[in-house]
Amino acid sequence: MRAVHLLALGAGVAAIAAPAFANDSVMKGIANPAEQVLQTVDYANTRYSKLDQINASNVKNLQVAWTFSTGVLRGHEGSPLVVGDMMYVHTPFPNIVYALDLNNEAKIVWKYEPKQDPSVIPVMCCDTVNRGLAYADGAIILHQADTTLVSLDAKTGKVNWSVVNGDPKKGETNTATVLPVKDKVIVGISGGEFGVNCHVTAYDLKSGKKVWRGHSQGPDADMIMDPEKTTSLGKPVGKDSSLKTWEGDQWKTGGGCTWGWFSYDPKLDLMYYGSGNPSTWNPKQRPGDNKWSMTIWARNPDTGMTKWVYQMTPHDEWDYDGINEMILTDQKVDGKERPLLTHFDRNGFGYTLDRATGELLVAEKYDPVVNWATKVDMDKGSKNYGRPLVVSKYSTEQNGEDVNSKGICPAALGTKDQQPAAYSPKTSLFYVPTNHVCMDYEPFKVSYTPGQPYVGATLSMYPAPNSHGGMGNFIAWDGVNGKIKWSNAEQFSVWSGALATAGDVVFYGTLEGYLKAVDSKTGKELYKFKTPSGIIGNVMTYQHKGKQFVGVLSGVGGWAGIGLAAGLTDPNAGLGAVGGYAALSNYTNLGGQLTVFTLPN
């Protein structure tokens, strides 16, 4: 790898660069650390809080302040929001929203409970999770499992408007949060395991009217690409850049779904996100690079026009979805300040790019066991520039259909799935929840039927061999050297989103149900508390009446916990996760609870 010198600039984060370009109410909420108006904490996806009342010296004294039962027993991802004196809590399907009065013992002020067709449940891949709400212009925005996008009056819960974004009968569902930008709300779609032709869509924040839609593959017009102006690794993508990489009309069932996180840079006026796996999981059935699945996208939020793209895993053979968050920071590269984007991909590589141009700067493994590729080619003069160099032994296509390729690391759920990392400008470190899991992968021929699974592979998962024996690590990533600074081994994958704070504490949750607090500099464990169920939610913090609180949803589920969540016992069920995480049932059970912590008076 080409050595790149990254020098952190401190607290300067892109999310606060130029509020005139962003949504004023969102920028106001981001600027007030007492509140949380986005799941990502800020537009830059840093998941960093400036609150420091709870710090590395006193976090050991945390106590439970109050709890709230959501009434739903499936995987609880995302986190509550806090706006003023109100907290907004969401649930998995059926996607109930509660408004709680923090001035009155968290009394329920209003409750929104959509009436969704339960037939959407079996169409949702990997549990019935939802990654949470967003707040903008006096409204709470929810994207339901059935793809209904709803704007709720934040004070009353009354429906301002609703619009349908997809069709579950075709396999289109939603598990993600939304991004309010200026006068629009940006949403994605799920369904990669059902052959959906996926997209991102912008709706008018006031009316719900559709403004634009950009697909992940297909004709240039469908993707909102200019063949001469949209670039990849510094070069124009050219006419029909996607169509040329699919056989026939396969792009129409090509996947490339957009169920992850969105970032926004107000200064550059660009939004960023990742597209997921191509359909099917049997790579032999879809020759070519399958562009632009598995890709980092930079788009203009007003028009949807694509500025640049970078495909991380061309012709994906392992289901290494590229949907994980894009964390935006301003740092120095070789002595020159540059706007950067850092992305920890499912494929096991941590990427750093210039977010203005899409130039690839760093691509390094963030788990030493990653073996499917030796490295990413960083030689700009090479025909393989920017591509991973695949190890033939771990190529599921080269080995052929109905052949079980063994010992591939990471497993399909990746070195990190959607559980978001955090970044602290105080340490210039990224804090990354990871999966330390490998797999056996056997492709088989599958035919496409609308609304039916379009997978075409049988998987089994297990802890990475010759290692600490566990299935996860919580790591600090040093951007200067592209290396792990410290790593805390965990028995199970860390499926909770991290939170970094100005108090030099980083919080995360474990699948057994522990909320943990560690020192941001050393990783030393400072506090832990076992909540009623496994944690796959994202830790959040807020301040009320001058006092700082930390909250987290517990409720085991998600891909790692699908066996418990859905009552599955076949080891190959859950796309291989049921067998891999079978021992989890010895440590936790289903739940649905918000636990809020604070320091004693």
Residue 131 annotated as binding site: yes
Beta bridge partners of 298: 272, 308
Instruction: Classify the C-alpha dihedral 372-375-379-380 as positive or negative.
Output: positive
Closest alpha carbon to 457 in 468, 471, 443, 467: 443
Alpha carbon distance 343, 357 (integer Å): 15
Alpha carbon distance 232, 238 (integer Å): 10
* Cβ atoms of residues 283 and 319 within 8 Å: no
Closest alpha carbon to 267 in 186, 205, 340: 340
Total Cβ atoms within 10 A of residue 414: 27
Using CA atoms, how far residue 254 sits from 120, 279, 294, 382, in Å, is: 21, 5, 11, 28
* Cβ atoms of residues 292 and 244 within 8 Å: no
State the maximum Cα–Cα separation within the chain, in Å, rounded to a whole number.
67
Strands 499-501 and 48-49: parallel
User: Quick one: which H or E segment has residue 564?
Assistant: helix 562-566
Residue 175 annotated as binding site: yes
Residue 77 annotated as binding site: yes
Both tokens of residue 14?
A: 């892109």
User: Quick one: which H or E segment has residue 222?
Assistant: helix 220-223
Alpha carbon distance 175, 166 (integer Å): 12
* Cβ atoms of residues 72 and 121 within 8 Å: no
Closest alpha carbon to 346 in 364, 371, 370, 320: 320
Backbone angles phi, psi at 252, to 5 degrees: -70, -20
Alpha carbon distance 51, 541 (integer Å): 8
Chain-centre distance for alpha carbon 158: 29
Catalytic residues, by residue number, are: 319
Total Cβ atoms within 10 A of residue 357: 15
Alpha carbon distance 131, 88 (integer Å): 13
* Cβ atoms of residues 81 and 36 within 8 Å: yes
Residue 319 annotated as binding site: yes
* Cβ atoms of residues 186 and 271 within 8 Å: yes
Alpha carbon distance 223, 357 (integer Å): 19
First to last CA, the chain: 52
Alpha carbon distance 475, 482 (integer Å): 12
Residue 277 annotated as binding site: yes
Rg of the chain over all Cα atoms, to the nearest angstrom: 22
Please name the amino acid found at residue 294: M
Residue 512 annotated as binding site: no
Q: Which residues contact 540 (CB under 8 A, 6 or more apart)?
A: 36, 41, 79, 80, 82, 499, 550, 551, 552
Q: Can you point out the beta strands (E) in 256-334?
A: 263-265, 270-274, 295-299, 306-311, 326-333
Alpha carbon distance 263, 530 (integer Å): 32
Closest alpha carbon to 202 in 135, 149, 278, 157: 149
Q: Which residues make up each annotated binding site?
A: 77, 131, 175, 193, 277, 319
| Binding site members for pyrroloquinoline quinone | 77, 131, 175
Write out the binding residues for Ca(2+). Answer: 193, 277, 319
